[in-house]
Amino acid sequence: MAVYIPEEKINDIKNAADIVDIISEVVVLKKSGKNFLGLCPFHSEKTPSFTVSSGKQIFYCFGCSAGGNVFSFLMKQEGISFPEAARMLARRYGIDIPVQTMSPEEKRRVSERESVLAINKQATDFFRCALLENTSGKTAMEYLLKRGISRKIVDDFKLGYAPEGWDNLAIYFSKKKQPDGLVEKSGLVIPRKGKSGFYDRFRSRIIFPIFDISMQIIGFGGRVLDDSLPKYLNSPETPVYNKSRSLYGLHMAKGKCRESKTVFIVEGYFDLLALHQHGIQNSVATLGTSLTPEHLQMLRGFIGKDGRVVLVYDSDSAGIKAAQRSIEVFDKGYVDAAIIVLPAGHDPDSYLLEFGTEPFMNLAAESKGVISFLIDCAVKKHGLSTEGKIHILSDIKVPLAAINDNVARSLYVKELAERIDVDEKAVLEKVRQVSAEKSSDIAKPAADYVLQNNGNRLERRIIAMMLQFPEVLSEVDNRGLLNLFEDNTLKSIGQSILKLKDSSGEPASELMAIVDDKDKRNIIASLVMKDDLWDRDGCLKLIAQFESSKYRNDKKLLQEIRDAEDRNDPELVLRLLKKKQLQVKKQNKIL
């Protein structure tokens, strides 16, 4: 049930929540001046431009302009609504939110997301029922047991069965009076081509509900019982399901991941279930996609930034491909990964079934880092003849060059040099060549480039002062400084700040959360994040400077009018006079 959250509770949450705390769970932040810097979770980058201000409780990415306060961060990161973000924070900080039933108006506002989650839950019940009760479910249950899945795992993971037939689920939802549009949004049904009505996406399949870390069902996977194709089918992207940000099993794995600071990553549903069943609960599966930076960032929230990631693959070639792909991903996430390649003919599921947990854990203990693994594979493939070494170097130079961390890279260069008995400098030279070719597309470092735009420098300083030293706001208001502004964008930002003067929160943070305009957000963030130190004297000096500059502008304008009159240019005179009038009006606060 959706709840209404009273204003004072929102304030409690604002006071309790720390944006650096919350963001650190998903982004590694490093102190930089008075702010924190990290790699943006909302776009792909190699040079950090994601900035978090602890003092102002805001974040801003100078690369993609994402920004806001702690609520906006959660809303964007988790794809949730404001009340959901508020509830999430309240839970985290132990703030009690009274449950009130919704008014009809609020009911209408219940987000699509919540409706889809409710539909997913109903569907899970339907699939469970079909697996446990129907006669047709019997075959499915037998199949699961035959694959070594215990009844406990079936229950823990709420496995289900989508029965044979085209519209069992569609009919179930229409009996439940769920609106067609919403059911369609859940991706569980597909509109029939050329006629009305819907048919079920999942038919005759074992169903794996996919949970998010708050235990909500966000999507489904389905596997056939025979050899028909496609073997696996997943929910499409929906308002609640984004596969590059979802990991199967994370809801069951997170505690153990935290404890062990290690996570095993496998590719399939059954592999994941096998690991859990064998007591290796700190494991997750990617769902029909390769590992993404978002995945890693989620995991890092549980294993910590120095935690261990172990990728489990069923063959050298799959491992090599994944290792090569993962380097860039890992490098972005500052996490090193190890790779296990299982003996030929085995996947994690069959390996554990045949050999059990201990040999698997031994493999994990001996598993090598991604680069060492690639070196091994290259040596195995090419041999250590002179020819072979040349091939090895050319295989490994690209992954080595992809490593951003200088220390890590030089360690691996050394390892490769020793392994194939080649001079370290020669290896380094190869890597440099690759880096030089790449360097043209290296992201430009975070810069407050907006500040380099023209615009009025003093007006920007005034806004910076207002954002960073809110004590001065009454002074700005009383003197009507904003009326003297020529830059309308800055002026409107200033007016918004003044409006927030008496609000309970930090003006900059409130502002970032409500300003939609990208350019304005960029200006605000650039100004807030600057390493300025303000005190009252400094502020008053700036105000005086600003006022006298306006006065100088007046004099300049008068001179221009006189010149135009001398030149006998009545059109220009008229234009300048209008400008003068406007200035006078502004100064008299008529505008």
Task: In angstroms, give the least distance from the CB of 172 to Zn ion.
Answer: 42
> Residue 76 or residue 147: which is nearer to Zn ion going by CB?
76
Q: Of 38, 63, 239, 507, which one interacts with Zn ion (CB under 5 A)?
A: 63
Give the SS3 label for residue 224. strand
> Residue 124 or residue 297: which is nearer to Zn ion going by CB?
297
Classify each residue of 323-355 as buried b or exposed e, where b means 16 or more C-beta atoms within 10 Å of its C-beta.
bbebbbbbbbbbbbbbbbbbeeebbbbbbbeeb
> Residue 254 or residue 332: which is nearer to Zn ion going by CB?
332
> Residue 43 or residue 530: which is nearer to Zn ion going by CB?
43
68 binds Zn ion, rule: CB under 5 A: no
Stretch that binds Zn ion, among 56-64, 225-233, 299-307, 472-480 (CB under 5 A): 56-64
Task: In angstroms, give the least distance from the CB of 297 to Zn ion.
Answer: 13
Query: Could you tell me the two tokens for 123?
Result: 């569907």
How far apart are alpha carbons 550 and 556 in whole angstroms? 10
> Residue 23 or residue 61: which is nearer to Zn ion going by CB?
61
> Residue 438 or residue 518: which is nearer to Zn ion going by CB?
518
Q: Of 61, 341, 543, 576, which one interacts with Zn ion (CB under 5 A)?
A: 61
Q: Of 3, 16, 20, 64, which one interacts with Zn ion (CB under 5 A)?
A: 64
Task: In angstroms, give the least distance from the CB of 299 to Zn ion.
Answer: 20
Give the SS3 label for residue 2. coil
End-to-end CA distance of the chain: 48
On whether the CB atoms of residues 305 and 334 are closer than 8 A, the answer is yes
Stretch that binds Zn ion, among 61-69, 294-302, 403-411, 560-568 (CB under 5 A): 61-69
Query: Could you tell me the two tokens for 54?
Result: 């602890």
Number of residues near Zn ion (by CB under 5 A): 6
Beta-strand runs (E) in 225-300: 232-234, 262-266, 283-285
> Residue 283 or residue 522: which is nearer to Zn ion going by CB?
522
Binding-site string for Zn ion from residue 389 to residue 428, where x marks contact by CB under 5 A and - marks none = ----------------------------------------
Q: Which of 302, 421, 312, 410 is nearest to 360 (CA)?
A: 312
Which residue reads 């609000």 in tokens?
503
* H/E element, 369: strand 368-369
φ/ψ (deg, to 5) at 42: -105, -10
Pairing status of strand 50-53 against strand 160-162: unpaired
Task: In angstroms, give the least distance from the CB of 37 to Zn ion.
Answer: 12
> Residue 274 or residue 524: which is nearer to Zn ion going by CB?
524
Q: Identify residues 16-55 at the interface with Zn ion (CB under 5 A).
A: 40, 42-43
Task: In angstroms, give the least distance from the CB of 60 to Zn ion.
Answer: 9
How far apart are alpha carbons 322 and 343 in whole angstroms? 17
Q: Which of 112, 164, 173, 103 is nearest to 135 (CA)?
A: 164
Q: Is the peptide bond before 230 cis (omega within 30 degrees of 0)?
A: yes
Binding-site string for Zn ion from residue 133 to residue 162, where x marks contact by CB under 5 A and - marks none = ------------------------------
On whether the CB atoms of residues 133 and 163 are closer than 8 A, the answer is no
Q: Give the interface with Zn ion as residue ranges (CB under 5 A).
A: 40, 42-43, 61, 63-64
